[in-house]
Amino acid sequence: MRMMKCVLAAISMSLAAGVAHADVTLSVLIDTNPESIASFDAVSKAYMEKHPDVSFDVEQRAGGSEGDNIIKTRLATGEMADIFQYNSGSLFQALKPERTMADLSDLASEAGILDSFKKVVTGPDGHVRGIPFGPAMGGGIFYNRKIYAELGLTPPKTWADFMANNQKIKAAGKVAIAQTYGTTWTSQLFVLADFHNVQAEIPDFAANYTANKQKYANTPTALRGFEHLEEVAKGGFFNADFGAATFDDGMRMVATGEAAHYPNLTFGIGNIQQNFPDNLKDLGFFALPGTDAAKNGLTVWMPAALYVSAKSEHVEEAKKFVDWVGSKEACELMAKAVPSGPYLVKGCELPKDIPPVVADMLPYFETDGHATPALEFLSPIKGPALEQITVEVGTGIRSAKDAAALYDQDVEKQAKQLGLPNW
């Protein structure tokens, strides 16, 4: 397991003048996403100005299943940083939060955090363990506005219209869909981002799924996400290097016009803001289309959270910092640094000069019935092998139906580990 350890440049510069006077150094573990780095830079610099006796030692980790394993290993061995960033929802529940994380229920900032977020960082014991870190995200399709304008295309609201657009793009000699299996977690989007469409047709699917009454393989509506991935793979719409390309490659391709589409989460906006700011105006976004244009809507991911390790030697100091991160003041600093989606702290608003791609996303949140939490926020079950299974579908190794059945087996293991009834 390789770990890249670095103190963020901006924080290092802030510390250079005052490290001799620092009384407490809080260790922090975050992922390598540019949005995470920018957000933590903004809040940590402001906090150190208020508290010159506090400094931060920041370590970065990989994402996806590799990142999951790093988090679980560090918690199991007692080597977790004082403060760490990780997913909310089902992946949070898998960490046994009542044993591994400090209780944050009594923090003053909890009063201003939306209940919709607090639900997805509450452990089985009823105690809140996390503070929101970053904006809510949508799962869908980034698209290149220049290509759409050149070919006279409009953002689709049905899967049939999306496939028709892909055919026209391919016929024009362009890459229709960027895929990036060198970063395996990105392979999941056609399945996971389709959940709004599943929910629109089967409102009680999440409850039935958790109770072991419905599965992907025997529910045609849920199976459709796997079938979509199989369909686009067979259509020959991918970039030639899709097996080795990475998340960074995919964001570059769709922003610069090397590809027309890239299915992903909207936190990718931060990647373009950092690496290709001149192309940000060319980036658009739409929800993964379903079968009914009237029910077109967005699958939403709650933001990651900051957690305090229960074994930290600086629990109280760490709690003071994350309490401040949950405040409106800190939230507005993050919103200014990363204006890529709505924040879940009361009164925290995005700047007025948001990029067009963010403007594309906001109407889904603002219209009742057009935004649905991803399944992992409605059910505690998410099988860890999904990203490997969807890579197999996208590369033609496994059929959609076989993949769904295999994922159902993966989910069963997870449900039994969590001790859920009916499994």
pTM: 0.84
pLDDT number for residue 368: 85
Same domain as 296, residue 182: yes
Same domain as 411, residue 264: yes
pLDDT number for residue 22: 52
Q: Which two tokens stand for residue 79?
A: 């080597």
pLDDT number for residue 367: 84
Please report which helix (H) or strand (E) contains residue 328, including its range: helix 328-337
Asked, for residue 18, whether it belongs to a domain, the answer is no
Same domain as 122, residue 59: yes
Please tell me the distance from the alpha carbon of residue 194 to that of residue 185, in angstroms, as a whole number. 16
Q: Which two tokens stand for residue 116?
A: 């919709």
Same domain as 182, residue 203: yes
Same domain as 168, residue 63: no
Same domain as 289, residue 276: yes
Q: Which residues in the chain show pLDDT less than 50?
A: 1-21
Same domain as 334, residue 232: no
Please tell me the distance from the alpha carbon of residue 393 to that of residue 395, in angstroms, as a whole number. 5
Q: Where does residue 328 rank: exposed (0-12), middle (13-18), buried (19+ CB within 10 A)?
A: middle
pLDDT number for residue 12: 45
Tell me the average pLDDT of the chain: 93
How many Cα atoms sit within 13 Å of 413 on the Cβ side?
8
CB count within 10 Å of CB 177 equals: 27
Domain range spanning residue 141? 137-301+360-418
Same domain as 402, residue 284: yes
Same domain as 291, residue 178: yes
Same domain as 125, residue 47: yes
Q: How many distinct structural domains can be found in the chain? A: 2
Same domain as 126, residue 38: yes
Asked, for residue 168, whether it belongs to a domain, the answer is yes
Same domain as 164, residue 232: yes
